[in-house]
Amino acid sequence: MGVRPAIDWGTAQRVGELVAGSPPYGGVLARSVQPLAHDFARRVGEYTGLQLPPELPPLETLDRPGWIAANLKTMRPLLDSLTESAAGESQSPTGASESEGSTGGFENQSPTGGSESEGPTGGFEIRGLAGAAESRLTGSLHSAAGHMLGAQLGGVTGLLSQRVLGQYDISLLDPAAAPRLLLLAPNLAAAARNLGVDRDELTAWVAIHEITHAVQFSGAPWLREHLGGMLRELLAGLQVSLANGGSERDHESSRRQATDSPRAGTGSRPQGGARLPDPRELLSRARSGELRDLLERARRGELLRLTLGEDRWLLVERMQATMSLIEGHAEHTMDAVGAEFLPSLPRLRSAMNRRRESYRRSASGLPWRVLERLLGLELKLRQYEIGRRFCDAVVESAGAQTLAIAWSSPAELPTTAELATPALWLERIQVPA
């Protein structure tokens, strides 16, 4: 029997749509921008020095439910991979399902085929019925957990769908999946109206940003696999941690077991399955004061770092540094290219900065401030700022052709420290600051 997904993806979509709402497109149409897309890509290529993709994905306008569906589809391989170990708990160590009923899995419990104390009804039948009842209960709990995880994922995706203006949708774990250029029509219309800017110019400007991402991944063909490799490494570490209760000692033991096993590399998961935290362990931690320390570290923004451990946290930092360059470079380029044919670019930039700042200050931005604080992550807005300042400084100091060196190979990518101090990166690649 196959392992059921740990996340109910239908629930995720339904809850996401409920949270997102479904405002109208507001007159934003992909066909009004599509004729300009190839010209945008050409200009981006000329400015950045990056090679254009052989075929640019068509621009698509979506409503919020459509955007949620697209992103859940992209996230599914990632999250299903992460939760597979937990879902495998519903199977026995031999791979047999616990729902085998009154005969399968129970008939060989006694060497003689029966116990002297079985009574008139037969002990194996009783144990079989008990096992079937337990299996039904386990299935119900699994279903409830799947709905809960789906609801949580849907809630977050629904909130995000209220904010996103555009997206270059690329799957890092499935190279065969074709990238998409998405424009979130209702949000673009609402943003133009609320910010008092021209709707068509705002749409074109956002399209340049997303097309820049397409050019980045074509001009640096190693980039997709580089990010995907880091993501797979992170997921592999998380899976081992889940399967062994999160203990670093168990993590190392499972790593050695996977390496030494004749089946290593065949897709087998560590023995034992995923386990939920033992309440007695949590109580012991609370009594020892350790739980108080954990809460304090969470308050300081170290929750994700604490959960992952230092080795995997360094991997997260590398991924964040790369994403900051990707986002900041697109921010820099959309202004450099947009200045050529968007008369109201200064007004657009000012309005966009006000919009981002409002998310930090307003009540609607509160969940993101809390999330960033808890996880210790530089979320999207921070990536824009850090990466753009780096790109602005490099171009001002050494020109756009020097910035293009960052896309030459993974070795030329700026580190977190170099993003904060661009002169360090220029020194490393031997360009005078």
Average pLDDT, stretch 324-330?
A: 95
- More confident of the two residues 267 and 362: 362
Average pLDDT, stretch 424-429?
A: 96
Q: What percent of the chain has pLDDT over 70?
A: 62
Average pLDDT, stretch 78-104?
A: 50
Of 86-90, 210-214, 254-258, 419-423, give the lowest mean pLDDT range. Answer: 254-258
CA distance to 121, 141, 392, 403, per residue, from 129 (Å)? 12, 18, 69, 68
Confidence of residue 284 (pLDDT cuts 50, 70, 90): low
Q: Does domain 9-89+125-219 fall into CATH 1.20.150.30?
A: yes
Residue 181: pLDDT over 90: yes
CA distance to 5, 16, 18, 24, 153, per residue, from 10 (Å)? 11, 10, 12, 23, 11
pTM: 0.73
What pLDDT, on the 0 to 100 scale, is given for residue 275? 45
Residue 429: pLDDT over 70: yes
Confidence of residue 298 (pLDDT cuts 50, 70, 90): low
pLDDT digits (tens, 9 = 90+) for 349-405: 999 988 887 766 554 444 555 555 544 444 555 777 899 999 999 999 999 999 999
pLDDT digits (tens, 9 = 90+) for 57-78: 999 999 999 999 999 998 888 7
Maximum average pLDDT range among 2-6, 315-319, 327-331: 327-331
Confidence of residue 290 (pLDDT cuts 50, 70, 90): low
What pLDDT, on the 0 to 100 scale, is given for residue 246? 47
Confidence of residue 144 (pLDDT cuts 50, 70, 90): confident
What pLDDT, on the 0 to 100 scale, is given for residue 375? 47
pLDDT digits (tens, 9 = 90+) for 9-40: 999 999 999 999 999 999 999 988 999 999 99
CB 99 within 8 A of CB 2: no
Residue 103: pLDDT over 90: no
Among 208, 237, 264, 290, CA closest to 40: 208
Sketch the domain layout of the chain as residue ranges: 9-89+125-219, 303-433
- More confident of the two residues 114 and 22: 22
What pLDDT, on the 0 to 100 scale, is given for residue 175? 87
